[in-house]
Amino acid sequence: MTGPVVLASNRFSGGSGGRVSRWRRAAMSAAIIAVAAACGPAPAPAVDNSTTVTTAPTTRTPRIVDDSGRPDVTFDPCLDLPDDVMTEAGYDAAHKEFADMPMGWYTFLGCTYRDRTLIPGVRRGYGLNILAGNVSIDEELEKNGSVATAASINGRRALLEVDPNNRDTCTYVLQTEFGIAIFSRIYHKDHPGPVPQNEWCTGFEDFVSTLEPYI
């Protein structure tokens, strides 16, 4: 597998084609809206009348796992990003959509959001796709190195990907303990003609920086 590939799903692209890694294409094109529920809290330890009772912390089993031997994806873009944070940033958390891809040899958990803020003559808002997967940032760099530059988000290793063939789209890929988290924003214009490439990523680094602590 060499080089980026064509993205198949319009929901996860800028509507103008473009190239992404094979696993991202699979995760995005096979996105399924589903409802996921958190697991209940772990049982409390037995009570010893001679000691103080301590309640075990609540844990959540990842809603998708695979048999690849790769780490479990422990960050869930739809469940671990607070709705109030997303709403304050302009994204409609009430209508977020789950989008998952278990592949056996890797897994992606996905979530899509939409910012419908209209600025007449400028833009109709943004589409935001967030994926968390158990592939490494070096694997991502091998696939998309031609459109990636090294970056850092709050001191975390990252990649900035801007593909001229995937118009109006800006992507940050962050390294995580389990693999990577991908933040991809699509600029929905409200004017004829192209969006200048230097505007595709405007303000996006700051936005991703506000979400990084939740990974």
> What's the whole-number average pLDDT of the chain?
78
Residue 60's nearest CA partner among 45, 73, 44 is: 73
The predicted pLDDT at position 99 comes to 82
Q: What is the pTM of this model?
A: 0.72
pLDDT higher than 90, residue 60: no
Pinpoint the alpha helices (H) of the chain.
22-29, 83-88, 137-144, 204-211
The pLDDT tens digits of the residues spanning 133-181 come to 999 999 999 999 999 999 999 999 999 999 999 999 999 999 999 999 9
